């Protein structure tokens, strides 16, 4: 065999590139998710006084969560890749829905900046009224918010299917569900408590990211 025949093809290099992207995303998303919740302002709602007092945290949290949502697209596609040869239809459906949901989720983070601008520029009652009006539009609810939450079942289904096929441990989908649920269960708790959910997610997904990088 000649040296030319030993050289990797363009297709192989591209294939390897996308595996590395997915692997890094599986490792990087929990980190950005953790930072996003850790820097989030206290409270369950976008109250103007809280946003004004913690304007820097509002911006930092929104940026971290936005790029975390961007990474979610290759995360679900990476999980689908690990599953595609065993359950191709499930991998394709969950991967596609999860990727589209992640894109929707990233767009929602822009609302934090508009809510902050309202909090700093108009009286509180007007700011709240405008926030509620914008959040109540059918286009926001059905076009962005509800589709964005489809990423959670997509992640759980893909990870559970990997566990069923022996490509993940049984505890990985369990930790993933717990990590996704914690910020909602502890919505009134301090940001440091909510951010602990990302640590559970990291324990569930990072080993799968390492596996992709080693292939």
Nearest to 87 by CA among 166, 23, 12: 166
Q: What is the pLDDT of residue 188?
A: 87
How far is it, in rounded angstroms, from Cα 82 to Cα 37? 28
How far is it, in rounded angstroms, from Cα 112 to Cα 64? 12
25 within a domain of the structure (yes/no): yes
Q: Could you report how far apart the first and last alpha carbons of the chain are, in Å? A: 24
4-30 pLDDT, tens per residue?
445 556 566 677 898 999 999 999 999
1 within a domain of the structure (yes/no): no
108-145 pLDDT, tens per residue?
999 999 999 999 999 999 999 999 999 899 999 999 99
Per-chain mean pLDDT for the chain: 91
Domain ranges, residue 64: 11-214
5 within a domain of the structure (yes/no): no
34 within a domain of the structure (yes/no): yes
Residue 2 scores a pLDDT above 70:
no
Token pair for 81: 């890749």
6 within a domain of the structure (yes/no): no
Number of domains in the chain: 1
79 within a domain of the structure (yes/no): yes
2 within a domain of the structure (yes/no): no
Sorted by sequence, the CB contacts under 8 Å of residue 95 that are 6+ apart come out as 76, 77, 79, 80, 81, 154, 158
Q: What is the pLDDT of residue 73?
A: 95
156-185 pLDDT, tens per residue?
999 999 999 999 999 999 999 999 999 999
3 within a domain of the structure (yes/no): no
Which pTM does this prediction carry? 0.90
């Amino acid at each position: 065999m000649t040296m030319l025949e030993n050289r990797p093809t363009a297709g192989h290099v591209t294939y390897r590139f996308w595996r590395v992207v997915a692997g890094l995303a599986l490792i990087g998303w929990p980190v950005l998710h953790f930072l996003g919740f850790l820097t989030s302002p206290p409270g369950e709602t976008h109250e103007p006084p809280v946003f004004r007092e913690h304007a820097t945290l509002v911006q930092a949290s929104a940026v971290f969560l936005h790029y975390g949502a961007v990474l979610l697209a290759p995360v679900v596609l990476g999980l689908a890749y690990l599953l595609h040869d065993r359950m191709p239809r499930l991998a394709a459906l969950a991967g596609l829905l999860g990727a589209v949901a992640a894109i929707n989720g990233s767009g929602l983070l822009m609302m934090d900046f508009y809510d902050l601008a309202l909090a700093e520029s108009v009286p509180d009652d007007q700011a709240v009224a405008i926030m509620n009006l914008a959040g109540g539009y059918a286009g926001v609810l059905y076009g962005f918010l509800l589709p964005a939450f489809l990423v959670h079942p997509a992640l759980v289904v893909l990870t559970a299917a990997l566990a069923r096929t022996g490509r993940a441990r049984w505890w990985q989908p369990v930790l993933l569900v717990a990590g996704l649920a914690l910020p909602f269960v502890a919505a009134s708790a301090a940001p440091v408590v909510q951010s602990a959910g990302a640590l559970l997610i990291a324990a569930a997904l990072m080993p799968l990211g390492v596996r992709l990088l080693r292939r």
